[in-house]
């Protein structure tokens, strides 16, 4: 089954404790992206990757890191989480960047930073 998977689905952590949210897709997609979703603010892009070893900042990259060492994986790293990073996070992928390409979203990771 074609899908985007994220782990963990739910996470409670404390300020300053490094964490990684994994994202994996089995569709051989080139393009992957991370979003956060907050009430009243909608979905905002954090980082995206056009292909392996190619990443770029989205609208809200502060406090986050990403890496793309393999085509299928695009982990999101919070080196020192803070309460304002409490949010619902979505990973998405598409075959490539371009007109008409659909982004497939993962199920989401709900993060609470105390």
Q: Which is nearer to other proteins, 62 or 100 (CB)?
A: 100
Q: Please tell me whether residue 90 binds other proteins under the rule CB under 8 A.
A: yes
Helix (H) or strand (E) run with residue 31 in it: strand 31-38
Q: Please tell me whether residue 8 binds other proteins under the rule CB under 8 A.
A: no
Q: Which is nearer to other proteins, 17 or 58 (CB)?
A: 58
- Is the torsion defined by CA of 113, 25, 45, 80 positive or negative? positive
What's CA 45's distance to the chain center, in Å? 9
Q: Decide: 73 and 97 in contact? Cβ < 8 Å.
A: no
Q: Please tell me whether residue 77 binds other proteins under the rule CB under 8 A.
A: no
User: Which positions touch other proteins (CB under 8 A)?
Assistant: 4, 31, 40-45, 48, 58, 90, 92, 94, 97-108
């Amino acid at each position: 089954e074609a899908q985007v998977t994220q782990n963990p689905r739910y996470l409670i952590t404390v300020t300053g404790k490094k964490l990684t949210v994994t994202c994996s897709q089995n569709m051989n997609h080139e393009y992957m992206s991370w979003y956060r979703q907050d009430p009243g603010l909608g979905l905002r892009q954090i980082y995206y990757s056009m292909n392996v070893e190619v990443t770029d900042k989205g609208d809200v990259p502060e406090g986050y890191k990403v890496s793309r060492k393999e085509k299928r994986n695009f982990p999101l790293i919070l080196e020192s989480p803070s309460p304002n990073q409490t949010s619902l996070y979505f990973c998405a992928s598409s075959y490539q960047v371009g007109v008409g390409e659909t982004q497939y979203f993962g199920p989401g990771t709900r993060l609470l930073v105390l």
